[in-house]
Amino acid sequence: MKRFLCGICAFFLFLTVLWPAESVRADPETDAQGQTAALSLSSPSALLMEASTGQVIYEQNADEQRSPASITKIMTLLLIFDELENGNLTMDEEVTTSAYAKSMGGSQVFLEEGEKQTVETLIKCIVIASGNDAAVAMAEHIAGTESEFVARMNERAAGLGMENTKFEDCCGLTDSAGHYTTARDVAVVSRELIERYPKILEYSSIWMEDITHVTAQGTKPFTLTNTNKLISSYDGCVGLKTGSTSVAKYCVSAVAQRDGITLIAVVMGAPDHKVRFADATAMLNYGFGKCSLYVDENKEALEPVEVIQGKEKEAPVDFENEFRYLDCSGQKLSGVEKYIELPEEVRAPVRKGETAGRAVYSRNGEEIGSVAIVYTADVEEADFIDYLEEALTRLLPTA
Looking at this protein, which amino acid is placed at residue 117?
Q
- Rounded Cα–Cα distance for residues 202 and 288 (Å): 22
Closest CA to 206 of 240, 234, 172: 240
Can you name the residues that pair with 58 across neighbouring β-strands? 48
Catalytic residue among 43, 73, 98, 292: 73
Instruction: With beta carbons less than 8 A apart as the criterion, state whether 271 and 42 touch.
Output: yes
β pairing state of 116-118 and 94-96: antiparallel
What is the distance between the alpha carbons of residues 222 and 236, in angstroms, rounded to a whole number? 27
* Angstrom distance (rounded) from CA 235 to CA 245: 27
Instruction: State the Cα–Cα distance between residues 310 and 337, nearest whole angstrom.
Output: 34
How many Cβ atoms are within 10 Å of 350's Cβ, its own excluded? 22
* Catalytic option among 45, 67, 70, 98: 70
Give whole-number Cα distances, 108 to 127, 245, 251, 376, 384, in Å: 11, 14, 18, 51, 73
- ω before 240 within 30° of 0 (cis)? yes
DSSP per-residue codes, 156-201:
HHHHTT-TT-B-SSSSS----TT-BB-HHHHHHHHHHHHHH-TTHH
In whole angstroms, what is the distance from residue 327 CA to residue 363 CA? Answer: 11
Residues 399, 396: Cα–Cα separation, whole Å: 9
Decide if 315 contacts 304 (C-beta within 8 A): yes
Judge whether 70 counts as a catalytic residue: yes
Active site residue 292: no
Give backbone dihedrals phi and psi of 96, rounded to 5 degrees, phi first.
-100, 130
The dihedrals phi and psi of 345, each to the nearest 5 degrees, come to: -150, 160
The alpha-carbon radius of gyration of the chain (Å, integer) is 29
In what helix (H) or strand (E) does residue 59 lie, and over which residues does it extend? strand 56-60
As annotated, the active-site residues are 70, 73, 130
